Amino acid sequence: MEYFAKAMKCKFCQEPLELINTVKENQKELASVLQMKCSKCLLINDVSSGPSHLSTDGDRYRYDINCQAALASLHTGLGHSHIKIFLNIMDVPVLSSITYKKHEREMGKVAEIVARDSCEKAAKIERQLTIENATEPQNKTVDFFIPGNNSNNVKDEVIVRIMGSIDMGYSGRGNGNTYYSANGYSSMIGAQSGLILSYDTTNRICRKCDTGHPKDDYDCRQNFYGSAKAMEVHSAVKLYISAIWQSASHSVLKLSDKNHTSKRVKNMLYKIQKNQDPDKELTKDSIAYLHRCFCYAVAQNTNNIAALTEAVKNIPYHAFNKHDNCGSWCGFKKSPETYKHKSVLGGFKSSVLFQTLTSAFEKLANNSQQFASGASTQANESVNSIMARNAPKSVCYSVSESCDFRYGCTVLQKNEGESYLAQVMRTNSMPVGENLNKLITQTEKIANKRKIIRKSPQFKQIRREQKKMRSQLRFRREATEVNTYESNIGLFDDESHKENSPSTSGFSKTADILQIAVKSSNRTFSHYIKPSRQISVHASESNGLTSHGEELFYHGRKVPAVSLSVALRNLLIFLTDFKKPCIFVAHNCPFDAPRLLRAMKKENMIKDF
């Protein structure tokens, strides 16, 4: 409004313009140009509703509001169709698909430039932190990270060996051997800073190329011709090995991810439970306890190989109530008389299980140098999660530059937080509004609070207990339910479902059953039953049955009828021929079931059925 108010002056005589003198409105997507007549000099003025800037390619001016809409779509995971629906519901003019794509390309390329600058800045931060913490892990000397130099005086031209993690994400759904994504993206995150140092995108398909456009006409992003499964190796080589060969002579040291190692430990324990646990002491809870002990050992002894080795070796001894080598963390050391295991009541007892666990954890301990660093790709998974919001897997953005632009925004969101939006806008010579600044402040404040809370032991304990309670509740409910969802449900069942439809002489609970009709696949059963009382008028209108004495008529035509006992015995014979359990499915079960059960009880045939 401030911009619009300042623009409401005649360019020729400086007289204030009035909206009532608007001659015409030219729509420029989300922006407008009003042609207003000056009441003094009577000349026509063009007044824009918002500021504009020169596009990055310098061919024309673009309105800021249209570029802001494109940046917002990249940040929130929306595409042109979503923006179009959103604005139409608000009764706001929309951007055409061509105009939207032009503005998306402009803001996306600016975001990529800012993302590369952010990665360079993050690499410098990671280098400095590595120099300051050059003795971690403890089995590595300063010379390992800074060859031939002292960490107290490292020049800018000296190459420093840093530690980072890499992981691949895909824009399509699937996992393992089922990956068939057109696009993949990977990031290298520094272990010390937690920031993205470099990133790469791989694209197997380009829509423009597939339709025969020459590559000179557009920005083709197709850069990979292998399978989706080969993308991760390709990106790892590109981000790590190739860069090192170009800049340094030292080799790459591969460390194990602590989360993957943790998962393998749990799988190992389940194998032991299956084959080497004669007394069945390894329950689900006790396996979770041993797994938790291993995770605690890694977390408490990160970068200390000697201490980690001893801690991992001691896990079986602690679980079997042998506390000679336990540290100060052990409750037995504090109160030997009253100490009891909370998760494994009384501790394990089996000597066979003790030898098996001791051997397994000793092998782990002997390879502790591989996971002592506590290296993790969890930060990379966090980046992939952000990307899944910026480019949902249910929508295909990967056959154009759009997916690359969205990953550039993802990298910036990880490194800079929400403030990257303001950086991109300033880089593109666009003013940053008050509402955006307020959003950035609020979002970062909430993120910092959430980060502090989630790192606290109390939060982790509550989360673990709530997960356990949810699992218990699910198991209790599933135990009381029949199978409702599984592969091929009902296809190979031994049970046979029968449709049952009895007709009665009235609507009271004591009314006679006049007909029992059952159908199963191609087989049917139907018996009319002699009435013992008069059929009510309302029942006759409903089922068409009338009676005269013990004779039964259906729509005025006499039908053969038998006694109730004969009908039930013939029904039992009909069901017995199936030679497997049968289930009745009634049309109106609340009405039919009680009357059928009452008839069976009357004839003393409940046990037979």
| pLDDT tens-place string over residues 259-312 | 888 888 999 999 998 888 888 888 888 888 899 889 888 888 887 888 888 889
3-state secondary structure of 311: helix
> How far is it, in rounded angstroms, from Cα 583 to Cα 594?
15
Burial 332-351 (b: 16+ CB within 10 A, else e): beeeeeeeebeebeeebebe
> Can you give the pLDDT at residue 562?
87
Same domain, 282 and 341: yes
Q: For the chain, what is the domain count?
A: 4
- The model's pLDDT over 106-117, given as tens digits with 9 standing for 90+, comes to 999 999 999 999
- The model's pLDDT over 368-378, given as tens digits with 9 standing for 90+, comes to 888 887 778 88
Give whichever of 329-333, 410-414, 473-477 has the largest mean pLDDT: 410-414
> How far is it, in rounded angstroms, from Cα 349 to Cα 269?
16
Residue owning tokens 């666009």:
430
> How far is it, in rounded angstroms, from Cα 276 to Cα 382?
38
- The model's pLDDT over 318-327, given as tens digits with 9 standing for 90+, comes to 888 888 888 8
Same domain, 181 and 248: yes
Same domain, 276 and 241: no
247-256, 463-472, 523-532, range with the lowest pLDDT = 247-256
Same domain, 305 and 333: yes
Strand segments (E) across 171-221 = 183-190, 196-203
Q: Which amino acid is at 275?
A: N
Same domain, 12 and 128: no
For 493, list phi and psi in degrees, rounded to 5: -65, 145
Task: Supply angle C-alpha 602, 603, 605, rounded to 5.
Answer: 110
Percent of the chain residues topping a pLDDT of 90 = 20
Domain contains 358: yes
> Can you give the pLDDT at residue 338?
79
Average pLDDT (80-99) is: 91
3-state secondary structure of 518: strand
Mean pLDDT computed over every residue of the chain: 83
Q: Is the peptide bond before 51 cis (omega within 30 degrees of 0)?
A: no
Same domain, 343 and 420: no
Same domain, 323 and 340: yes
Same domain, 210 and 324: no
Listed as own residue / partner, the contacts of 2-5 with beta carbons closer than 8 Å and 24 or more positions apart are 3/50, 3/51, 4/47, 4/49, 4/50
Average pLDDT (394-401) is: 86
> How far is it, in rounded angstroms, from Cα 515 to Cα 501?
8
Q: Which domain holds residue 213?
A: 104-252+394-432
Instruction: Assign residue 585 the CATH number of its domain.
Output: 3.30.420.10
Domain contains 443: no
User: Which of 415, 432, 449 marks a domain boundary?
Assistant: 432
- The model's pLDDT over 126-155, given as tens digits with 9 standing for 90+, comes to 888 888 876 555 545 445 555 555 555 666
Which positions ≥6 away from 157 have C-beta within 8 Å? none
Number of other CB atoms surrounding residue 539 within 10 Å? 21
> Can you give the pLDDT at residue 255?
74
Does the pLDDT value for residue 345 go beyond 90?
A: no
- Concatenating the DSSP letter of every residue in 543-581 gives H-EEEETTEEEETTEEE-EE-HHHHHHHHHHHHHTT-S-
Average pLDDT (566-591) is: 81
Average pLDDT (442-467) is: 90
Same domain, 241 and 263: no
Q: Do residues 109 and 406 lie in contact, with contact meaning Cβ atoms separated by under 8 Å?
A: no
Domain contains 377: no
Same domain, 425 and 324: no
Same domain, 356 and 420: no
Number of other CB atoms surrounding residue 25 within 10 Å? 12
> Can you give the pLDDT at residue 437?
94
> Can you give the pLDDT at residue 68?
93
Same domain, 112 and 247: yes
Domain contains 607: no
Domain contains 441: no
- The model's pLDDT over 193-213, given as tens digits with 9 standing for 90+, comes to 899 999 988 888 888 888 888
> Can you give the pLDDT at residue 556?
83
Domain contains 79: no
Q: Do residues 443 and 437 lie in contact, with contact meaning Cβ atoms separated by under 8 Å?
A: no
> Can you give the pLDDT at residue 142?
47
Which positions ≥6 away from 151 have C-beta within 8 Å? 131, 132, 134, 142, 145
Domain contains 209: yes
Average pLDDT (566-578) is: 85
Average pLDDT (481-496) is: 66
pTM, full prediction: 0.69
Domain contains 70: no
203: left (phi over 0), alpha (psi -120 to 50) or beta: beta
> Can you give the pLDDT at residue 218?
80
